[in-house]
Amino acid sequence: MRYILGPMKVPFLILTPMCILVGISTAMWSGARIDILSVVLIIIGAVCAHISVNALNEYCDFKSGLDFKTQRTPFSGGSGALQERPDKAGWALATGVVSLVLCFTIGMYFVFTVGVLLLPLGLLGMALIVFYTQWITKKPIVCLIAPGLAFGPLMVLGTHFVLTGSYSLTALLASLIPGFLVSDLLLLNQFPDVEADETVGRRHLPILLGRRNVARIYILFLAASYFPLFLGYALGVFPVHVFFALATTVIAVQTARGVLRYSEEMKSLVPYLGRNVIIDLATPALFAIGLMIAS
C-alpha cells in the first residue's frame, strides 16, 4: 500500500474538501437544496482528480530522475516511495490513470444529469492534470496560475453548478480565495526544489526570478486572497459573516515576514511552509462556515 498511498500524497488531500466546502457554502447561500448524494460524488470526483495529479507527478518525477536529486521536506521533494522501490513505479502510474478515469466518469455523470455548461470546466480540469508535470511546469506564468485555477474556480464553480444548476457572481468571487491561496501554496513549495528542478528542465518563477523576488510575489498573492471578501461584501453578494476568514491574517502576517526573511535559507523556511498550509486550509473553511451560518 505504501507504493499506492505514497504517490497519492494522502496528507495533502484534505485541501480538496476545504475547496469543495466553499462551493457548498455558496450553493447554500443561494438558497439551493443540498443533495447529499451529489455532495458525496463531488468530493469523490475532486479527490480523485487531486490523487491523479499527485500520482502522475510522482511517476514523471521518478522517471526524469528529479526525485533522486531533491532534498525532501514535509511539503516538497516527492514521497520517496519510488526511490525505495523503483520496481513499484507502475503502481504510481496506475493510481494516477485509474483516479483520472474515475474523476472523468463522475464528471460526465454530472454533465448529463445537471447540464452541459459543466463540460468546459471539466475538460479544462482534465487538461491541467494531464499536462501539469510535462508541460505546465515549464511555463512560469501558467505554472503559477494553474494550481489556483484548478482548486479555486474549477472546483468551487463546478461544485456550485452541480448543486444549483447555474453559476453566480457569489461563487466566482468565493472561488478566488482558494484560487490565490493554492497558487501561493505551490509557489512557496517550489522554493526548496529550485536547483533540482532546474536540472530536469522545469522553469517556474523561483527558477526564473530567484527566491527573493518570488517571495514578494508570494506576499502579493497572499494579500490578494483576502481581497474577494471585501469586494463581495461591498457588492452585496457576501454577508458580514464571511469576515470570519480574516482570523488567519494573524498567521499570514507572520508567515509573510518569515518567507521574506528566510527565502534563501531552506532549513529556516520549512516551518513557514507549514504555517502556509494552515492558512490555505483554515481560510476557505472559515469563509465557508461564515456563509453557511448566514444561510
- Cβ(124)–Cβ(161) under 8 Å? no
Between CA 222 and CA 213 the distance in angstroms is 15
Mention every residue, 6+ apart, whose C-beta is less than 8 A from residue 128.
Answer: 53, 136, 146, 149, 150, 154
Q: Structure pTM?
A: 0.94
Query: Tens digits of per-residue pLDDT, 37-48?
Result: 999 999 999 999
- Cβ(29)–Cβ(291) under 8 Å? yes
The pLDDT value given to residue 78: 67
Between CA 254 and CA 266 the distance in angstroms is 17
- Cβ(23)–Cβ(158) under 8 Å? yes
Scored b (16 or more CB within 10 A) or e, 267-281 reads eebbebbebbbebbb
List the chain residues with pLDDT less than 70: 3, 77-78
Backbone dihedral region for residue 71 (phi beyond 0: left; psi -120 to 50: alpha; all else: beta): beta
Query: Tens digits of per-residue pLDDT, 114-129?
Result: 999 999 999 999 999 9
Between CA 174 and CA 286 the distance in angstroms is 12
The pLDDT value given to residue 291: 97
Identify the CA nearest to 207 among candidates 194, 188, 192: 194
> Would you list the DSSP string of 33-66?
PPPHHHHHHHHHHHHHHHHHHHHHHHHHHHHHTG
Between CA 5 and CA 243 the distance in angstroms is 36
Between CA 42 and CA 54 the distance in angstroms is 18
Distance between start and end Cα atoms, the chain: 42
Identify the CA nearest to 133 among candidates 87, 92, 103, 192: 92
